[in-house]
Amino acid sequence: MTAETVDNLHREVQCKLGRCLIRLQQYEQLLKALLPATDIQTSWQPGQPQPQTSLQAATERLQHQTLGQLVKEFIGIHSEPEQEAKEPDEEPEPEGVIFFRTQLRIETASGGLAGVESNLRGMVTMRNALIHHFLERFDIWTVDGCLDADRHLDECFGRMDAHFRELHTTALAFDAARQELLVLMRSPEFMNQFCEGVFPDGQIHWPSTRVVQCLLQHCAVDPVAWTVLGPVIQSMQADCPEEVPSKYRCKTWRQLLKRSEVFEVRTDIDDQTGQGRTWFRPMASSGVGATSWWPAR
């Protein structure tokens, strides 16, 4: 062969090696986009304008990971039928914070997880060989070396492209699932249940309601002490006027306190005004300590 023919073969090998590396980087970028959304932790505290999520932190963490590390995490979201997902350790949330977690998983056929892991780890091995050992394996300065490298690169690209297309299909399915979840989470029924503790059937989970959380905040300084209801009502009328007993199908604040089963309620007579007073404090069963002493008159 002429020197021009060898040069053409050499350039073709270079182009095919570059094509493989581009496909690998596309696969890596798609993993970095897909993985953060497979495990989203969301917390919301009454009074916050928006829930806080772990999405940005997870995205930043994955930006500097290698392909091998990304593939390891990707393998971790696969499971076989009826296989229990391993629950990671979680730090307890502060009192009054609502927390939930959304996880997306890929279910393989029974006994198929080992095959998935082997294929994905094989791709990482292939990538490492191309990056670190390609010139050790192929003498691309000779015709035979170029021809061998050309065939090998075609095979590598075929495998990489198949992995990329499969991952792209997975990403589309995950995105469709997230969109359906967003529609649900933005619905009035979900917002009432999540932010207000009111279920679609009309039942109320009182500890989750904003009104109870606001009342608990007024007890936060000394949870075991009794608090006079009157000043608390005035404060809530200024800070959160929409939180009223009628919102929760109650006629009075005292009825709301009792119906919630979160607070102890006591009444007495104010010696100075001669009018009745209502006192409240969290019950011991609500997670806040309590004592048996009465407020001084």
**Tens digit of each residue's pLDDT (9 = 90 or more) over 55-108:** 888 999 999 999 999 999 999 999 877 655 555 555 555 666 777 788 888 988
- Find, among 84, 100, 96, the residue nearest to 39 by Cα: 100
- Find, among 248, 190, 191, 189, the residue nearest to 215 by Cα: 248
C-alpha to C-alpha distances, 218 to 62, 75, 227, nearest whole angstrom = 41, 48, 8
Which DSSP category does 279 fall into?
Answer: E
CA distance 2 to 233: 94
For the chain, what are the domain ranges?
A: 3-186, 197-286
Question: Residue 39: what are its φ and ψ, rounded to 5°?
Answer: -150, 95
**Tens digit of each residue's pLDDT (9 = 90 or more) over 2-47:** 677 778 898 999 999 999 999 999 999 999 999 998 888 888 776 6
Question: 3-class DSSP state for residue 214?
Answer: helix
pLDDT tier for residue 285 given thresholds of 50, 70 and 90: low
Q: Which fold has domain 197-286?
A: Nucleotidyltransferase; domain 5 (3.30.420)
